[in-house]
Chains A and B, each alone.
Chain A
């Protein structure tokens, strides 16, 4: 697999993305340089593609990923991997707000901390964060797992549907309608199996598994105060 280097700078993003797509289609590994935190880099990459972004990227990097392996050297802006359906995205540093928003499947691995609303409305797949997840993480996650090894900010796992938030480390506060449950050995083994290929499995972790209390699944007027928690 030969390597193709693509320069970003001040060029038009559409032109850059077309070059990335063409290089991937030709079977090359792609390295993207001088990214300058520009937005929408590497959106809609196909199965089997392998793209590395040097430095930091802006909003929506790797969005709608359809099976590519994407790495970002440093930080990612808002909503990296938004709506992705397959593949793996690795972010070397910090991931901004809404990483993995509405993702369907695949894995996002963040080595640093994350901003607010990690995995907002996600519908499947896994988000693994080595650092801390921000405010209101897991907000309305329909399915899939958010696994945070370094703790969580306020309002954690707010208004979950059938998604799960797993946190090792301190949690500032829980969101609305969260139930913290004791995970079974099988469930812990499942999470370790997700962490294993990332080199992060550790059986000594003290997990807090958060799921929906299911009180907000149906609106009851007597629960209005919970809805109006703000």
Chain B
């Protein structure tokens, strides 16, 4: 059992604060870790990275190595990186870089540092913040409530398939595609088979989490030319297990539900804004008055909501 959420605003605003509320209302669904994907004002010629180092005593060495690889790819930090840590061994980093010559090649090299330092999101706009602890604890530590953006995702994790580790929490970035993130509620049962298939195709898995498969699987579909809407539909017959997952990019948020209709999704759309969550009581934190609530309770459903009233019918 996990809790997921999505939020779209009419224009850039305090989407971080809304996501924290949506996840706080669902803390009982999984309080071991919480994560957020926030789509902020887009950068031009630069990428914003979020990453995690597993030993804060190694921070200086990690950054030296990371920067050396950036230099090899014609890139560098464009401003000072910021770091967050507490009593835990790990630290989190926010880094802005100039565009590398080839993003995919740079990432392949940067991922060789994965044992010590892992890139968890990369985009013009996307920033993934994830850590162990409740919604309020992660929000306080990382200043999520002050994050400005147009839309985003949230996730509360109850680890069932792998360990409680800060990097095994959601959202997952669909590397190497900038600005694509997923959150998932459920279990993927053919995870090992798919993981092996995708690893043979050269994809890299950073965690033991079954949900990471969805991010990698979606990457593979995008790479083979499918749109997000097509990938969502295809996933229902391709991936085995119970799931409601949401995928976001700069244009909007989409979802897919398994063919057994096991995991809920509740949505309120009002005046071009959208709030989606596993439980209705969470969307009530945003829309407390009477409003039309859509229960996506049926099997094999997909849908996409566009940002800024853009029509993106699935």
Contact = CB atoms under 8 A, between A and B. Distances in A.
B27 interface: no
B280 interface: yes
A154 B297 CA distance: 13
Interface centre among B260, B261, B279, B293, by most A CB within 10 Å?
A: B261
Interface string B279-314: 111011000101001010111000000000000000
A38 B285 CA distance: 11
Contact of A134 (B283, B288, B298): B298
Interface stretch (A73-81, A82-90, A181-189, A217-225): A73-81
A133 B283 CA distance: 24
B268 to A, nearest CB: 11
Contacts of B297: 96-97, 115-116, 134-135
A78 B281 contact: no
Interface residues of B, number: 16
Contacts of A135: 261, 297-299
Contacts of B288: 36
B264 interface: yes
B281 A37 contact: yes
Interface range on chain A (Cβ under 8 Å from partner):
20 to 34
B290 A55 contact: yes
Contacts of A153: 298
Contacts of A154: 299
Interface in A100-147: 115-117, 134-136
A38 B298 contact: no
A166 interface: no
Contacts of A96: 264, 295, 297
Interface centre among B279, B290, B293, B295, by most A CB within 10 Å?
A: B295
A136 B258 CA distance: 14
A58 interface: yes
Contact of B264 (A36, A97, A117): A97
Contacts of B299: 116, 135, 154
A39 interface: yes
B261 A37 contact: no
Contact of A94 (B281, B284, B290, B295): B295
Contact of B261 (A36, A38, A77, A136): A136
B295 A116 contact: no
A56 interface: yes
A115 B284 contact: no
Nearest to B285: A36
Contacts of A59: 279
Nearest to A115: B297
A153 B260 CA distance: 13
Contact of B281 (A39, A97, A116, A134): A39
A38 B26 CA distance: 11
A86 to B, nearest CB: 27
Contacts of B280: 37, 56, 58, 75, 77
Contacts of B259: 230
Nearest to B280: A37
B75 to A, nearest CB: 47
Contacts of A94: 295
Interface of A: 36-39, 55-56, 58-59, 74-75, 77-78, 94, 96-97, 115-117, 134-136, 153-154, 230
Given A36-B288, A135-B298, 11 more contacts: A37-B283, A37-B293, A56-B280, A56-B293, A58-B279, A58-B281, A75-B293, A78-B264, A116-B298, A116-B299, A136-B261
25 contacts: A36-B288, A37-B280, A37-B281, A37-B284, A37-B293, A39-B281, A55-B290, A58-B279, A58-B280, A58-B281, A74-B290, A75-B293, A77-B280, A96-B264, A96-B295, A97-B264, A115-B298, A116-B261, A116-B297, A116-B298, A117-B261, A134-B298, A135-B297, A135-B299, A154-B299
